[in-house]
Structure 1
Amino acid sequence: MYSQFGFNEPATQLGMQFAGNAVAQGTAYMERNFNRWVDMPALRHYFNVSNMYVINKLRLILFPWRHSPWSRSIKRSETGQMEGFKPPREDINSPDLYIPVLAIVTYILLCGLAAGQQGSFHPEKLYVAGWCSLAFLLFELISMRLTCYFLNIPFEASMLDLVAYSGYKYVCIIVTDVIKLLGAGKWLSTTVFVYTALSVGFFLLRSMRYVILPDAAAGPSTFNPQRKRRMWFLLTIAAMQMVFMFFLVN
Protein backbone atom coordinates (compact mmCIF):
# COMPACT_ATOMS: atom_id res chain seq x y z
CA MET A 1 0.00 0.00 0.00
CA TYR A 2 2.81 2.42 0.85
CA SER A 3 4.65 1.74 -2.43
CA GLN A 4 1.54 2.49 -4.48
CA PHE A 5 1.51 6.05 -3.14
CA GLY A 6 5.25 6.53 -3.48
CA PHE A 7 6.04 6.01 0.20
CA ASN A 8 9.09 3.82 -0.24
CA GLU A 9 11.37 5.25 2.40
CA PRO A 10 11.51 3.23 5.63
CA ALA A 11 11.21 6.39 7.71
CA THR A 12 8.01 7.39 5.92
CA GLN A 13 6.51 3.94 6.38
CA LEU A 14 7.43 3.95 10.06
CA GLY A 15 5.82 7.36 10.50
CA MET A 16 2.62 6.23 8.80
CA GLN A 17 2.42 3.15 11.01
CA PHE A 18 3.03 5.24 14.11
CA ALA A 19 0.27 7.69 13.11
CA GLY A 20 -2.15 4.82 12.47
CA ASN A 21 -1.44 3.31 15.88
CA ALA A 22 -1.85 6.69 17.57
CA VAL A 23 -5.22 7.26 15.92
CA ALA A 24 -6.40 3.76 16.89
CA GLN A 25 -5.31 4.23 20.51
CA GLY A 26 -6.95 7.65 20.67
CA THR A 27 -10.21 6.27 19.30
CA ALA A 28 -10.19 3.42 21.81
CA TYR A 29 -9.51 5.87 24.65
CA MET A 30 -12.40 8.10 23.61
CA GLU A 31 -14.76 5.14 23.37
CA ARG A 32 -13.81 3.89 26.84
CA ASN A 33 -14.31 7.28 28.47
CA PHE A 34 -17.47 8.10 26.51
CA ASN A 35 -19.06 4.75 27.39
CA ARG A 36 -18.29 5.44 31.04
CA TRP A 37 -20.83 8.29 31.05
CA VAL A 38 -23.19 7.26 28.24
CA ASP A 39 -24.76 3.84 27.83
CA MET A 40 -24.21 3.45 24.09
CA PRO A 41 -26.29 0.24 23.65
CA ALA A 42 -29.24 1.96 25.35
CA LEU A 43 -28.73 5.09 23.26
CA ARG A 44 -28.67 3.08 20.04
CA HIS A 45 -32.04 1.61 20.99
CA TYR A 46 -33.64 5.08 20.77
CA PHE A 47 -32.18 5.73 17.31
CA ASN A 48 -33.18 2.35 15.88
CA VAL A 49 -35.86 3.79 13.61
CA SER A 50 -37.06 3.36 10.04
CA ASN A 51 -38.60 5.72 7.52
CA MET A 52 -42.06 4.23 8.05
CA TYR A 53 -41.72 4.57 11.80
CA VAL A 54 -40.85 8.27 11.51
CA ILE A 55 -43.79 8.95 9.19
CA ASN A 56 -46.25 7.03 11.36
CA LYS A 57 -44.91 8.60 14.56
CA LEU A 58 -45.29 12.13 13.20
CA ARG A 59 -48.84 11.27 12.17
CA LEU A 60 -49.50 9.85 15.64
CA ILE A 61 -48.21 12.99 17.40
CA LEU A 62 -50.35 15.30 15.27
CA PHE A 63 -53.44 13.05 15.12
CA PRO A 64 -53.45 10.89 18.27
CA TRP A 65 -57.21 10.85 18.83
CA ARG A 66 -58.17 7.45 17.41
CA HIS A 67 -54.95 5.52 17.99
CA SER A 68 -55.13 2.25 19.89
CA PRO A 69 -53.55 0.47 21.69
CA TRP A 70 -51.02 2.67 23.51
CA SER A 71 -49.13 -0.03 25.41
CA ARG A 72 -45.54 -0.76 24.44
CA SER A 73 -44.57 -4.12 22.95
CA ILE A 74 -42.37 -6.35 25.08
CA LYS A 75 -39.30 -8.09 23.73
CA ARG A 76 -38.92 -11.66 24.98
CA SER A 77 -36.15 -14.20 24.76
CA GLU A 78 -36.45 -17.67 23.28
CA THR A 79 -37.41 -18.99 26.72
CA GLY A 80 -40.20 -16.41 27.05
CA GLN A 81 -38.45 -14.15 29.56
CA MET A 82 -38.83 -10.39 29.24
CA GLU A 83 -35.71 -8.69 27.87
CA GLY A 84 -37.11 -5.18 27.68
CA PHE A 85 -39.17 -3.26 25.16
CA LYS A 86 -39.01 -3.53 21.40
CA PRO A 87 -37.10 -0.76 19.57
CA PRO A 88 -38.97 2.05 17.81
CA ARG A 89 -38.49 0.36 14.44
CA GLU A 90 -40.75 -2.48 15.62
CA ASP A 91 -43.17 -0.59 17.88
CA ILE A 92 -44.93 2.68 17.06
CA ASN A 93 -45.57 3.30 20.78
CA SER A 94 -41.89 3.13 21.68
CA PRO A 95 -40.26 6.51 22.43
CA ASP A 96 -37.31 7.51 20.27
CA LEU A 97 -34.73 10.28 20.22
CA TYR A 98 -34.39 10.61 16.45
CA ILE A 99 -37.52 12.75 16.03
CA PRO A 100 -36.91 14.98 19.09
CA VAL A 101 -33.30 15.71 18.12
CA LEU A 102 -34.17 16.62 14.54
CA ALA A 103 -37.20 18.59 15.71
CA ILE A 104 -35.11 20.71 18.10
CA VAL A 105 -32.50 21.39 15.40
CA THR A 106 -35.25 22.33 12.95
CA TYR A 107 -36.84 24.62 15.55
CA ILE A 108 -33.54 26.46 16.04
CA LEU A 109 -33.17 26.94 12.29
CA LEU A 110 -36.75 28.21 12.04
CA CYS A 111 -35.98 30.77 14.74
CA GLY A 112 -33.13 32.04 12.57
CA LEU A 113 -35.43 32.10 9.52
CA ALA A 114 -38.06 34.07 11.41
CA ALA A 115 -35.44 36.58 12.54
CA GLY A 116 -34.23 36.87 8.95
CA GLN A 117 -37.74 37.68 7.74
CA GLN A 118 -37.88 40.47 10.31
CA GLY A 119 -34.49 41.78 9.20
CA SER A 120 -32.90 41.19 12.60
CA PHE A 121 -30.98 37.96 12.05
CA HIS A 122 -27.75 37.45 13.97
CA PRO A 123 -25.94 34.17 14.67
CA GLU A 124 -26.39 34.86 18.37
CA LYS A 125 -30.14 34.30 17.95
CA LEU A 126 -29.48 30.67 17.03
CA TYR A 127 -27.36 30.36 20.16
CA VAL A 128 -30.15 31.84 22.31
CA ALA A 129 -32.77 29.59 20.71
CA GLY A 130 -30.63 26.51 21.38
CA TRP A 131 -30.05 27.39 25.02
CA CYS A 132 -33.73 28.22 25.55
CA SER A 133 -34.70 24.83 24.12
CA LEU A 134 -32.22 23.09 26.40
CA ALA A 135 -33.35 25.10 29.44
CA PHE A 136 -37.03 24.25 28.93
CA LEU A 137 -36.14 20.60 28.39
CA LEU A 138 -34.04 20.38 31.56
CA PHE A 139 -36.66 22.22 33.60
CA GLU A 140 -39.36 19.82 32.46
CA LEU A 141 -37.23 16.74 33.13
CA ILE A 142 -36.20 17.88 36.60
CA SER A 143 -39.79 18.80 37.48
CA MET A 144 -41.18 15.45 36.40
CA ARG A 145 -38.42 13.50 38.15
CA LEU A 146 -38.78 15.39 41.43
CA THR A 147 -42.57 15.11 41.37
CA CYS A 148 -42.30 11.35 40.83
CA TYR A 149 -39.98 11.19 43.82
CA PHE A 150 -42.19 13.26 46.15
CA LEU A 151 -45.37 11.43 45.11
CA ASN A 152 -43.61 8.09 45.57
CA ILE A 153 -44.40 7.05 42.00
CA PRO A 154 -42.48 3.98 40.80
CA PHE A 155 -40.16 5.29 38.09
CA GLU A 156 -40.60 2.58 35.47
CA ALA A 157 -39.24 4.67 32.59
CA SER A 158 -35.66 5.68 31.97
CA MET A 159 -34.51 9.26 31.78
CA LEU A 160 -34.09 8.86 28.03
CA ASP A 161 -37.80 8.04 27.82
CA LEU A 162 -38.63 11.35 29.46
CA VAL A 163 -36.25 13.18 27.14
CA ALA A 164 -38.03 11.65 24.16
CA TYR A 165 -41.51 12.48 25.44
CA SER A 166 -40.48 16.04 26.28
CA GLY A 167 -38.95 16.52 22.84
CA TYR A 168 -42.04 15.52 20.89
CA LYS A 169 -43.65 18.91 21.53
CA TYR A 170 -41.15 20.49 19.13
CA VAL A 171 -42.89 18.73 16.24
CA CYS A 172 -46.04 20.70 17.04
CA ILE A 173 -44.03 23.87 17.58
CA ILE A 174 -42.53 23.49 14.11
CA VAL A 175 -46.00 23.15 12.55
CA THR A 176 -47.16 26.32 14.29
CA ASP A 177 -44.02 28.23 13.33
CA VAL A 178 -44.30 27.19 9.69
CA ILE A 179 -47.91 28.40 9.58
CA LYS A 180 -46.81 31.75 10.99
CA LEU A 181 -43.86 32.04 8.61
CA LEU A 182 -46.18 31.44 5.67
CA GLY A 183 -48.04 34.61 6.62
CA ALA A 184 -51.19 33.04 8.06
CA GLY A 185 -53.55 35.32 9.94
CA LYS A 186 -53.74 35.56 13.70
CA TRP A 187 -56.86 33.45 13.96
CA LEU A 188 -55.44 30.61 11.85
CA SER A 189 -52.14 30.67 13.74
CA THR A 190 -53.96 30.59 17.07
CA THR A 191 -56.19 27.73 15.93
CA VAL A 192 -53.21 25.67 14.78
CA PHE A 193 -51.38 26.40 18.04
CA VAL A 194 -54.32 25.32 20.20
CA TYR A 195 -54.88 22.17 18.14
CA THR A 196 -51.23 21.09 18.17
CA ALA A 197 -50.95 21.81 21.91
CA LEU A 198 -54.01 19.67 22.59
CA SER A 199 -52.74 16.89 20.32
CA VAL A 200 -49.32 16.64 21.98
CA GLY A 201 -50.97 16.91 25.41
CA PHE A 202 -53.31 14.02 24.60
CA PHE A 203 -50.40 12.08 23.12
CA LEU A 204 -48.39 12.40 26.34
CA LEU A 205 -51.46 11.70 28.43
CA ARG A 206 -51.86 8.30 26.82
CA SER A 207 -48.18 7.48 26.22
CA MET A 208 -46.97 8.22 29.76
CA ARG A 209 -49.78 6.39 31.48
CA TYR A 210 -47.61 3.32 31.99
CA VAL A 211 -45.13 5.48 33.94
CA ILE A 212 -47.49 7.57 36.07
CA LEU A 213 -50.56 5.33 36.30
CA PRO A 214 -49.58 1.66 36.37
CA ASP A 215 -52.38 -0.86 36.15
CA ALA A 216 -54.43 -1.60 39.23
CA ALA A 217 -52.96 -5.10 39.28
CA ALA A 218 -49.58 -3.59 40.10
CA GLY A 219 -50.56 -3.20 43.74
CA PRO A 220 -52.73 -1.25 46.17
CA SER A 221 -50.62 1.90 45.79
CA THR A 222 -52.37 2.58 42.49
CA PHE A 223 -55.73 3.18 44.22
CA ASN A 224 -57.07 6.32 45.89
CA PRO A 225 -55.80 8.66 47.15
CA GLN A 226 -52.41 7.85 45.59
CA ARG A 227 -53.93 7.12 42.21
CA LYS A 228 -55.82 10.41 42.27
CA ARG A 229 -52.59 12.35 42.89
CA ARG A 230 -50.88 10.53 40.04
CA MET A 231 -53.76 11.27 37.71
CA TRP A 232 -53.61 14.99 38.54
CA PHE A 233 -49.87 14.93 37.96
CA LEU A 234 -50.35 13.30 34.55
CA LEU A 235 -52.98 15.88 33.61
CA THR A 236 -50.61 18.64 34.73
CA ILE A 237 -47.87 17.32 32.43
CA ALA A 238 -50.30 17.37 29.50
CA ALA A 239 -51.55 20.88 30.34
CA MET A 240 -48.05 22.30 30.77
CA GLN A 241 -47.24 21.45 27.16
CA MET A 242 -49.34 24.41 26.05
CA VAL A 243 -47.44 26.71 28.40
CA PHE A 244 -44.04 25.53 27.18
CA MET A 245 -45.16 25.72 23.56
CA PHE A 246 -46.45 29.28 24.04
CA PHE A 247 -43.06 30.54 25.20
CA LEU A 248 -41.08 28.57 22.62
CA VAL A 249 -43.29 29.61 19.70
CA ASN A 250 -42.92 33.25 20.66
Structure 2
Amino acid sequence: MYDNIGAQPGVPRPPTNAQPSPFGNSLYGAGSGFIRGGLGAYGEKILGSSSEYVQSNISRYFSDPQYYFQVNDQYVRNKLKVVLFPFLHRGHWTRITEPVGGRLSYKPPIYDINAPDLYIPLMAFGTYVVLAGLTLGLNGKFSPEALNWLFVKGVVGWFLQVTLLKMTLFSLGGGEAPLLDIVAYAGYTFTGLSLAFLGRIFSKYAYYFLMPWACLCMGIFLVKTMKRVLFAEVRSFDSSRHHYLLLFIAMAQFPLLIWLGNITLNWLF
Protein backbone atom coordinates (compact mmCIF):
# COMPACT_ATOMS: atom_id res chain seq x y z
CA MET A 1 0.00 0.00 0.00
CA TYR A 2 2.80 2.40 0.75
CA ASP A 3 4.52 1.66 -2.50
CA ASN A 4 1.51 2.81 -4.45
CA ILE A 5 1.87 6.29 -2.96
CA GLY A 6 5.40 6.68 -4.23
CA ALA A 7 4.25 5.53 -7.62
CA GLN A 8 1.92 8.52 -8.18
CA PRO A 9 2.86 10.92 -11.03
CA GLY A 10 4.95 13.90 -10.00
CA VAL A 11 5.86 12.53 -6.62
CA PRO A 12 9.40 11.26 -6.31
CA ARG A 13 9.70 7.82 -4.83
CA PRO A 14 11.97 7.56 -1.78
CA PRO A 15 14.91 5.22 -2.01
CA THR A 16 14.17 1.82 -0.56
CA ASN A 17 17.70 0.40 -0.40
CA ALA A 18 20.77 1.85 1.26
CA GLN A 19 23.95 2.56 -0.66
CA PRO A 20 25.89 -0.70 -0.98
CA SER A 21 29.21 -0.91 0.83
CA PRO A 22 32.23 -0.79 -1.47
CA PHE A 23 33.58 -3.90 0.27
CA GLY A 24 30.30 -5.84 0.30
CA ASN A 25 30.47 -7.45 -3.10
CA SER A 26 34.12 -8.35 -2.77
CA LEU A 27 33.66 -9.88 0.68
CA TYR A 28 30.53 -11.71 -0.38
CA GLY A 29 32.12 -13.01 -3.54
CA ALA A 30 35.22 -14.12 -1.72
CA GLY A 31 33.23 -15.71 1.09
CA SER A 32 30.81 -17.51 -1.20
CA GLY A 33 33.65 -18.69 -3.39
CA PHE A 34 35.52 -19.95 -0.37
CA ILE A 35 32.43 -21.75 0.93
CA ARG A 36 31.59 -23.23 -2.43
CA GLY A 37 35.16 -24.34 -3.02
CA GLY A 38 35.55 -25.78 0.46
CA LEU A 39 32.25 -27.60 0.43
CA GLY A 40 32.86 -28.84 -3.08
CA ALA A 41 36.28 -30.23 -2.22
CA TYR A 42 34.98 -31.74 1.00
CA GLY A 43 31.97 -33.27 -0.75
CA GLU A 44 34.13 -34.62 -3.53
CA LYS A 45 36.44 -36.15 -0.94
CA ILE A 46 33.53 -37.78 0.88
CA LEU A 47 31.90 -39.03 -2.32
CA GLY A 48 35.21 -40.20 -3.71
CA SER A 49 36.15 -42.11 -0.58
CA SER A 50 32.69 -43.62 -0.29
CA SER A 51 32.76 -44.63 -3.95
CA GLU A 52 36.16 -46.25 -3.49
CA TYR A 53 34.88 -47.99 -0.36
CA VAL A 54 31.83 -49.35 -2.16
CA GLN A 55 33.85 -50.47 -5.18
CA SER A 56 36.51 -52.12 -3.03
CA ASN A 57 33.91 -54.01 -1.02
CA ILE A 58 31.98 -55.06 -4.11
CA SER A 59 35.16 -56.38 -5.73
CA ARG A 60 36.18 -57.90 -2.41
CA TYR A 61 33.03 -59.91 -1.83
CA PHE A 62 31.41 -60.30 -5.26
CA SER A 63 34.11 -59.70 -7.92
CA ASP A 64 33.26 -59.15 -11.57
CA PRO A 65 30.73 -61.70 -12.90
CA GLN A 66 32.34 -61.59 -16.36
CA TYR A 67 35.56 -62.92 -14.86
CA TYR A 68 33.93 -66.31 -14.16
CA PHE A 69 32.91 -66.89 -17.78
CA GLN A 70 36.29 -66.36 -19.45
CA VAL A 71 36.75 -70.01 -20.40
CA ASN A 72 37.55 -72.09 -23.47
CA ASP A 73 37.32 -75.75 -24.45
CA GLN A 74 40.77 -76.58 -23.16
CA TYR A 75 40.05 -75.06 -19.77
CA VAL A 76 36.74 -76.93 -19.47
CA ARG A 77 38.37 -80.28 -20.26
CA ASN A 78 41.24 -79.73 -17.82
CA LYS A 79 38.96 -78.41 -15.10
CA LEU A 80 36.67 -81.43 -15.35
CA LYS A 81 39.71 -83.67 -14.94
CA VAL A 82 40.73 -81.77 -11.80
CA VAL A 83 37.23 -81.98 -10.31
CA LEU A 84 36.52 -85.60 -11.21
CA PHE A 85 40.09 -86.88 -10.68
CA PRO A 86 41.65 -84.47 -8.18
CA PHE A 87 44.30 -86.94 -6.95
CA LEU A 88 45.74 -87.07 -10.49
CA HIS A 89 46.38 -83.33 -10.56
CA ARG A 90 50.17 -83.04 -10.37
CA GLY A 91 50.40 -79.27 -10.61
CA HIS A 92 50.07 -76.71 -7.86
CA TRP A 93 46.69 -75.69 -6.41
CA THR A 94 47.43 -72.00 -5.86
CA ARG A 95 46.03 -69.33 -8.13
CA ILE A 96 48.20 -67.22 -10.45
CA THR A 97 48.35 -63.47 -9.81
CA GLU A 98 49.21 -60.58 -12.10
CA PRO A 99 49.64 -56.81 -11.49
CA VAL A 100 46.58 -54.83 -12.61
CA GLY A 101 46.21 -51.14 -11.85
CA GLY A 102 49.02 -51.11 -9.32
CA ARG A 103 47.76 -54.09 -7.34
CA LEU A 104 47.81 -57.86 -7.65
CA SER A 105 44.82 -59.55 -9.24
CA TYR A 106 44.03 -63.15 -10.09
CA LYS A 107 44.25 -64.31 -13.67
CA PRO A 108 40.94 -65.41 -15.28
CA PRO A 109 40.09 -69.10 -15.68
CA ILE A 110 41.21 -69.20 -19.30
CA TYR A 111 44.80 -68.65 -18.09
CA ASP A 112 44.65 -70.47 -14.75
CA ILE A 113 43.28 -73.98 -14.19
CA ASN A 114 42.90 -73.30 -10.46
CA ALA A 115 40.69 -70.23 -10.94
CA PRO A 116 36.97 -70.71 -10.19
CA ASP A 117 34.43 -70.34 -12.97
CA LEU A 118 30.65 -70.34 -13.17
CA TYR A 119 30.33 -71.85 -16.63
CA ILE A 120 30.95 -75.45 -15.55
CA PRO A 121 28.78 -75.25 -12.38
CA LEU A 122 25.82 -73.79 -14.29
CA MET A 123 26.13 -76.32 -17.10
CA ALA A 124 26.52 -79.14 -14.59
CA PHE A 125 23.49 -77.95 -12.64
CA GLY A 126 21.37 -77.91 -15.80
CA THR A 127 22.65 -81.36 -16.73
CA TYR A 128 21.81 -82.60 -13.24
CA VAL A 129 18.19 -81.43 -13.54
CA VAL A 130 17.79 -82.88 -17.06
CA LEU A 131 19.30 -86.27 -16.19
CA ALA A 132 17.30 -86.47 -12.96
CA GLY A 133 14.11 -85.77 -14.92
CA LEU A 134 15.10 -88.38 -17.49
CA THR A 135 15.65 -90.89 -14.70
CA LEU A 136 12.15 -90.20 -13.40
CA GLY A 137 10.79 -90.61 -16.90
CA LEU A 138 12.44 -93.99 -17.31
CA ASN A 139 10.83 -95.07 -14.06
CA GLY A 140 7.41 -93.78 -15.16
CA LYS A 141 7.31 -91.05 -12.49
CA PHE A 142 8.00 -87.94 -14.55
CA SER A 143 5.79 -84.88 -14.22
CA PRO A 144 6.37 -81.10 -14.55
CA GLU A 145 5.81 -80.72 -10.81
CA ALA A 146 8.46 -83.34 -10.08
CA LEU A 147 10.92 -81.51 -12.35
CA ASN A 148 10.23 -78.28 -10.47
CA TRP A 149 10.90 -80.03 -7.17
CA LEU A 150 14.17 -81.37 -8.54
CA PHE A 151 15.20 -77.87 -9.53
CA VAL A 152 14.38 -76.55 -6.06
CA LYS A 153 16.25 -79.43 -4.46
CA GLY A 154 19.33 -78.65 -6.52
CA VAL A 155 19.22 -74.96 -5.59
CA VAL A 156 18.86 -75.83 -1.90
CA GLY A 157 21.79 -78.26 -2.14
CA TRP A 158 23.94 -75.60 -3.82
CA PHE A 159 23.01 -73.13 -1.09
CA LEU A 160 23.90 -75.64 1.63
CA GLN A 161 27.31 -76.21 0.07
CA VAL A 162 27.96 -72.47 -0.12
CA THR A 163 26.88 -72.06 3.50
CA LEU A 164 29.20 -74.87 4.57
CA LEU A 165 32.23 -73.29 2.91
CA LYS A 166 31.38 -69.78 4.04
CA MET A 167 30.82 -70.75 7.66
CA THR A 168 34.10 -72.67 7.64
CA LEU A 169 35.96 -69.52 6.62
CA PHE A 170 34.15 -67.45 9.22
CA SER A 171 35.04 -69.94 11.93
CA LEU A 172 38.72 -69.37 11.12
CA GLY A 173 38.39 -65.61 11.28
CA GLY A 174 38.49 -65.23 7.51
CA GLY A 175 35.41 -65.11 5.32
CA GLU A 176 36.85 -62.39 3.05
CA ALA A 177 36.85 -64.52 -0.09
CA PRO A 178 34.56 -63.21 -2.83
CA LEU A 179 31.11 -64.74 -2.66
CA LEU A 180 31.13 -65.78 -6.31
CA ASP A 181 34.34 -67.72 -5.73
CA ILE A 182 32.61 -69.81 -3.08
CA VAL A 183 29.49 -70.18 -5.25
CA ALA A 184 31.67 -71.48 -8.09
CA TYR A 185 33.56 -73.94 -5.90
CA ALA A 186 30.31 -75.22 -4.40
CA GLY A 187 28.74 -75.57 -7.85
CA TYR A 188 31.31 -78.15 -8.96
CA THR A 189 29.30 -80.59 -6.84
CA PHE A 190 26.94 -81.17 -9.76
CA THR A 191 29.68 -82.45 -12.08
CA GLY A 192 30.07 -85.67 -10.12
CA LEU A 193 26.30 -85.93 -9.65
CA SER A 194 25.74 -85.63 -13.38
CA LEU A 195 28.27 -88.39 -14.01
CA ALA A 196 26.55 -90.61 -11.45
CA PHE A 197 23.12 -90.01 -13.03
CA LEU A 198 24.51 -90.72 -16.47
CA GLY A 199 25.79 -94.07 -15.24
CA ARG A 200 22.46 -94.75 -13.55
CA ILE A 201 20.64 -94.46 -16.88
CA PHE A 202 22.70 -97.31 -18.33
CA SER A 203 23.10 -99.45 -15.22
CA LYS A 204 21.84 -99.25 -11.67
CA TYR A 205 25.02 -100.86 -10.43
CA ALA A 206 27.13 -98.16 -12.09
CA TYR A 207 25.32 -95.57 -9.98
CA TYR A 208 26.30 -97.32 -6.74
CA PHE A 209 29.92 -97.16 -7.85
CA LEU A 210 29.93 -93.63 -9.29
CA MET A 211 28.09 -91.95 -6.42
CA PRO A 212 30.69 -92.82 -3.73
CA TRP A 213 33.35 -91.88 -6.27
CA ALA A 214 31.75 -88.47 -6.79
CA CYS A 215 31.53 -87.90 -3.02
CA LEU A 216 35.17 -88.86 -2.50
CA CYS A 217 36.49 -86.76 -5.39
CA MET A 218 34.43 -83.73 -4.40
CA GLY A 219 35.72 -84.01 -0.86
CA ILE A 220 39.34 -84.16 -2.03
CA PHE A 221 38.81 -81.26 -4.44
CA LEU A 222 37.27 -79.02 -1.78
CA VAL A 223 39.93 -79.93 0.78
CA LYS A 224 42.72 -79.06 -1.66
CA THR A 225 40.94 -75.86 -2.69
CA MET A 226 40.16 -74.70 0.83
CA LYS A 227 43.67 -75.48 2.03
CA ARG A 228 45.66 -73.95 -0.83
CA VAL A 229 43.40 -71.15 -2.01
CA LEU A 230 40.81 -69.98 0.52
CA PHE A 231 42.65 -70.72 3.78
CA ALA A 232 45.74 -69.02 2.40
CA GLU A 233 43.97 -65.65 2.80
CA VAL A 234 43.38 -66.23 6.52
CA ARG A 235 46.28 -64.61 8.33
CA SER A 236 46.19 -66.68 11.52
CA PHE A 237 44.30 -69.78 12.55
CA ASP A 238 44.60 -72.82 14.76
CA SER A 239 46.28 -75.60 12.78
CA SER A 240 44.51 -78.40 14.65
CA ARG A 241 41.16 -76.71 14.14
CA HIS A 242 42.08 -76.20 10.51
CA HIS A 243 42.54 -79.97 9.97
CA TYR A 244 39.30 -80.82 11.74
CA LEU A 245 37.37 -78.39 9.55
CA LEU A 246 38.91 -79.84 6.40
CA LEU A 247 37.93 -83.32 7.52
CA PHE A 248 34.40 -82.10 8.26
CA ILE A 249 34.08 -80.58 4.77
CA ALA A 250 35.21 -83.85 3.17
CA MET A 251 32.84 -85.99 5.24
CA ALA A 252 29.91 -83.65 4.64
CA GLN A 253 30.03 -84.40 0.91
CA PHE A 254 28.70 -87.92 1.40
CA PRO A 255 25.30 -87.08 2.98
CA LEU A 256 24.88 -84.00 0.78
CA LEU A 257 25.51 -85.73 -2.54
CA ILE A 258 23.55 -88.81 -1.54
CA TRP A 259 20.61 -86.58 -0.65
CA LEU A 260 20.85 -84.77 -3.99
CA GLY A 261 21.15 -88.10 -5.79
CA ASN A 262 18.03 -89.53 -4.21
CA ILE A 263 15.45 -88.84 -6.92
CA THR A 264 11.94 -88.98 -5.46
CA LEU A 265 8.75 -86.99 -5.83
CA ASN A 266 9.41 -85.42 -2.45
CA TRP A 267 12.50 -83.19 -2.64
CA LEU A 268 13.05 -83.32 1.13
CA PHE A 269 14.08 -86.98 0.95
Residue identity in the other structure for 1:95: P
- Between the aligned partners of 1:230 and 1:125, the Cα distance in structure 2 is 40
Choose from 111, 115, 120 the match for 2:141.
120
Q: Please say if residues 94 and 229 of structure 2, whose CA atoms lie closer than 8 Å, have aligned partners that are also in contact.
A: no
Distance in 1 (CA, whole Å) between partners of 2:167 and 2:253 is 18
Give the Cα separation in 2 of the matches to 1:65 and 1:165: 17
Cα deviation per residue 1:87-140 (whole Å; 9 max; x = unaligned)? Answer: 000000001000000111111111111111011211111111111111122223
Structure-2 separation of matches of 1:204 and 1:104: 18
For 2:179, the aligned partner's letter is M
RMSD: 2.3
TM-score by length of 1: 0.74
Give the drift of 1:212: 5.1
Q: Report the Cα distance in structure 1 between the residues aligned to 2:209 and 2:133, rounded to whole angstroms.
A: 24
Q: Does residue 161 in structure 1 map to residue 181 in structure 2?
A: yes
Q: What letter matches 1:165 in structure 2?
A: Y
Q: In structure 1, the residue corresponding to 2:64 is in which secondary structure?
A: helix
Distance 2:215 2:111 in 1: 27
Residue in structure 1 matched with residue 41 of structure 2 by the alignment: none
| Superposed displacement of residue 165, structure 1 | 0.9
Alignment deviations for residues 205-228 of structure 1 (CA, whole Å, 9 cap, x no partner): 11121455338xx75x33xxx121
Partner of 2:29: none
Is 1:213 the counterpart of 2:228? The answer is: no
The code of the aligned residue for 1:148 comes to L
Percent sequence identity over matched residues?
A: 31
Q: Which runs of 5+ in 2 are unaligned?
A: 1-57, 263-269
State the Cα deviation string for residues 43-74 of structure 1 (Å, max 9, x = none): 00011111110111111111111312111001
Residue pairs, 1:20-99, within 5 angstroms: 42-67=64-89, 68-77=91-100, 81-99=102-120
Equivalent residues, number: 203
TM-superposed CA distance for 1:234, in Å, is 1.9
Amino acid at match of 1:74: T
The offset of 1:197, in angstroms, is: 1.4
More displaced stretch, 165-174 vs 69-78: 69-78
Q: Give secondary structure in 1 for the equivalent of 2:87.
A: coil
Q: How many Å apart are 1:156 and its aligned residue?
A: 4.0
Q: Which of 172, 178, 181 does residue 201 from structure 2 map onto?
A: 181
